[in-house]
Amino acid sequence: MRWKLVVTLMVAATSRIAAQPAPGPSAAVLRPRIDSMALRAHTYFLSHDLLEGRGTGRRGNDIAALYLAATAEALGLSGAGEGGSYFQVVPLTEAVIDTVGTRLELNVDTAHGRVAVRAFRTPRDFVPNVGTGASLVSFAGPLAYVGSAHEILLNPGSLPVLTGRVALVRGPFGSDMAAADTLRARGVTGVVQLAGDTGTYALYVRSRGPSRIFIADSVRAVSSFIPPIPDVIGGPDLIRALVPDLPAPGSADDHPYLLPGRRVTVRIAVHAHPLVSRNVAAILPGSDPARRAEYVVYTAHLDHLGISVPDERGDSIYNGFSDNAAGCAMLLAIAQAMVAGPRPERSVLFLWPTGEERGLLGSDYFAAHPLVPADRMVAEINLDAGAPPAPPVVWQIAGGTASTLGQLAVDVAHAAGWEAKVAAASPNSDYFPLLRIGVPAVFLVPDAPYEGLTMEASQALGKRWDHYHQAADEWHADFPFSGLVRYADFAYRVGMAAAAAPRAAVLPAR
Ligand SMILES: [Zn+2]
C-alpha cells in the first residue's frame, strides 16, 4: 500500500524535488530510493537515434559505453575494468554475410531417375543462425527430420542414423542447446531450423541482421548461446519445399524420420574482419570491511540491434529503449540509490555487457575473463526483461531454481507484498554465463497483471508499449516510468539483501 502511494507521488511529480514527501514520522519510509527522473534521462540518451541502436562494434555502442562510464564516474564508482578503467575490451570477429555467394540448393530425386533442383536465397528464404568461425561454414547432406530440440534430448533413442545428414529441427534450440551437441555427436553435418510462420521468420531476419559477430577464435571462451554446429534458419517457403508433409507438432506422426531422395547443399560465404567492443564495469565498495572483498553483481546489456531491416515507416534504427536502455538506466539508478545510502555491506559490481543480442558475447567473455575472482561473486542479478508499462506486483525469478538466491529474491518480493516464483535458467540473457561458472545468478522478470489492473487491462497496456526487437522500441515522453521505478526498486532490494545475507549456495541440478 505504501508503495502505491510512493509511485503515485512519483507519477504526479514534475521534478525530483517535488517527489520528496513532507517531513514527518513516515518521511524515512516514503523517501523514494529510485530516481524516476534519472531513469527517464538515461533512457532518453541511450535510446536516442544518434546512438543508432548501439550495435555491437559500432560507434553508437561505444558512445553508450562512454556514457555509462562517465555517469559511473559522476556517481563516485570506481573503474573495475582493465588498468583501473571502466572498460573491458572484448575482441570479436564480424562475418558479413555475402548474400550472393550464400545460397541453399534442394535436390529431389524424381520418379524418372532425374533430379529436380530448386535454389533458395538469403535473407528471403533462410538466414545463417548465430555462429562462430567454426560453424559459419558450408554443409550438405540428405535430409532427416528430428523434431524439436527438447524432443531430441528427451528421446535420443528415437533418432535414426544421422551420419553425414542435414537435420531439420523444429524451432530454436533455446534452453535445450545440448541437443546441438547430440546432433553433432551423431555425425550431423549441419542443421536447418524450421522457424515457423512468416512473423517468426521476419523476427529472426531483423534480430540476426546482415552480419554475425562472435568472440575472436584466438580467444578461449565457451559460448552459452551459439550452437556448436553449422545452422541456418528457414522461412515458410523453404520449409514447405524441404518437408512437404511436415507433421503437426505433437501429432502421432511427429517423430524423427528420414526424407529419402531429398538432399540440400548450403553454401555460406562471409567476409570476416576483426572488431572490438567493450563491457563497462564499475564498483561501489561495500560498507563492511570484513565482506568488502565479496561482490554482488548487477548486469544489464548495453548493446542492441543497431541498424537493421527498415519497418513499414522506413525506420531502420533499432533504438532498444525497453531492450535494454531500460536495464542500463536501472543499474545507474540503483547505484545512485546505494551511493545515497544506506551502503550495501558487500561491494557491488555493476556490469554492462556488450554483444548480448549477438549471442551473449560480452557476458561469455566476462565469464572466461572475470574482472573479480569468480568465487568472490556471491550473487548476480540480471535486468533485461523490458520496461513494464505499470508497476509489477508479480515476478518470475529465472535461474532461481539453481541457487538459494532464488528463494532470497522470492522472500524479498513477499516482504514487499508482491508475488514471486522461481523458474529454471535459460541462455536468453547475461545471467546464464555467470551461472555456468558457478555464480548464483537470477534474472528478475516482471509479470502481469500489474498493480491495480486486471489481466486484460495489463495485457492491453503491454500490447501498446511492447515492441520487442522492432525499430518502434523507442523512447516516448508519455511512457509510464512508474513500472521501471518498481522494477529497479525490486532489483535494489534483492541486491541489498544479497549484500547482507549469508552467501547464496548453488543447488544441485534437478
Ligand atoms: Zn535484451
| Secondary structure in 3-state letters for 232-294 | EEECHHHHHHHCCCCCCCCCCCCCCEEEEEEEEEEECCEEEEEEEEEEEEEEECCCCCCCCCC
Distance 211 CA to ligand 1 centre (A): 18
Confidence of residue 128 (pLDDT cuts 50, 70, 90): very high
Find out whether 326 and 42 touch, Cβ atoms under 8 Å: no
- What percent of the chain lies above the pLDDT cut of 90? 87
Distance 453 CA to ligand 1 centre (A): 26
pLDDT average, residue stretch 190-194: 97
Distance 100 CA to ligand 1 centre (A): 31
First to last CA, the chain: 37
Which pLDDT score, from 0 to 100, does residue 111 have? 85
Is 90 exceeded by the pLDDT of residue 314? yes
Which pLDDT score, from 0 to 100, does residue 23 have? 44
Is 80 exceeded by the pLDDT of residue 29? no
Is 70 exceeded by the pLDDT of residue 123? yes
Confidence of residue 432 (pLDDT cuts 50, 70, 90): very high
Which pLDDT score, from 0 to 100, does residue 302 have? 98
Which pLDDT score, from 0 to 100, does residue 510 have? 61
Distance 340 CA to ligand 1 centre (A): 28
Which pLDDT score, from 0 to 100, does residue 174 have? 87
CA distance 31 to 52: 36
Please list the residues that pair with 283 across neighbouring strands.
78, 349
Distance 311 CA to ligand 1 centre (A): 20
Distance 429 CA to ligand 1 centre (A): 7
C-alpha pair distances (Å), 385 with each of 167, 430, 431: 32, 11, 12
Confidence of residue 218 (pLDDT cuts 50, 70, 90): confident
Query: Helix, strand or coil for residue 166?
Result: strand
Distance 357 CA to ligand 1 centre (A): 7
Is 90 exceeded by the pLDDT of residue 319? yes
Find out whether 238 and 388 touch, Cβ atoms under 8 Å: no
pLDDT average, residue stretch 376-393: 97
Is 90 exceeded by the pLDDT of residue 25? no
Distance 301 CA to ligand 1 centre (A): 7
Is 90 exceeded by the pLDDT of residue 30? no
pLDDT average, residue stretch 21-40: 67
Which pLDDT score, from 0 to 100, does residue 252 have? 87
Which pLDDT score, from 0 to 100, does residue 95 have? 97
Find out whether 183 and 229 touch, Cβ atoms under 8 Å: yes
Which pLDDT score, from 0 to 100, does residue 32 have? 59
- What percent of the chain lies above the pLDDT cut of 70? 94
Distance 386 CA to ligand 1 centre (A): 7
Q: Which of 13-22, 216-225, 380-389 has the highest mean pLDDT?
A: 380-389
Quick: pLDDT tens for 436-467. Answer: 999 999 999 999 999 999 999 999 999 999 99
Distance 45 CA to ligand 1 centre (A): 17
Are β-strands 115-121 and 257-267 bridged in parallel, bridged antiparallel, or unpaired?
A: unpaired
Which pLDDT score, from 0 to 100, does residue 222 have? 85
Confidence of residue 31 (pLDDT cuts 50, 70, 90): low
Distance 384 CA to ligand 1 centre (A): 5
Residue of 101, 88, 176, 187 whose CA lies nearest to 144: 187
pLDDT average, residue stretch 431-440: 97
Query: Helix, strand or coil for residue 87?
Result: strand
Query: Helix, strand or coil for residue 96?
Result: strand
Which pLDDT score, from 0 to 100, does residue 3 have? 38
Q: Output DSSP code: residue 15.
A: S
Distance 356 CA to ligand 1 centre (A): 7
Which pLDDT score, from 0 to 100, does residue 415 have? 97
- The pTM score is 0.90
Distance 496 CA to ligand 1 centre (A): 24
Distance 302 CA to ligand 1 centre (A): 9
Quick: pLDDT tens for 147-176. Answer: 999 999 999 999 999 999 999 999 999 889
Which pLDDT score, from 0 to 100, does residue 27 have? 44
Distance 365 CA to ligand 1 centre (A): 17
Please list the residues that pair with 39 across neighbouring strands.
none
Residue of 321, 331, 247, 219 whose CA lies nearest to 283: 331
Confidence of residue 253 (pLDDT cuts 50, 70, 90): confident
Is 60 exceeded by the pLDDT of residue 224? yes
CA distance 136 to 133: 6
Which pLDDT score, from 0 to 100, does residue 12 have? 38
Which pLDDT score, from 0 to 100, does residue 366 have? 97
Distance 474 CA to ligand 1 centre (A): 14
pLDDT average, residue stretch 93-108: 97
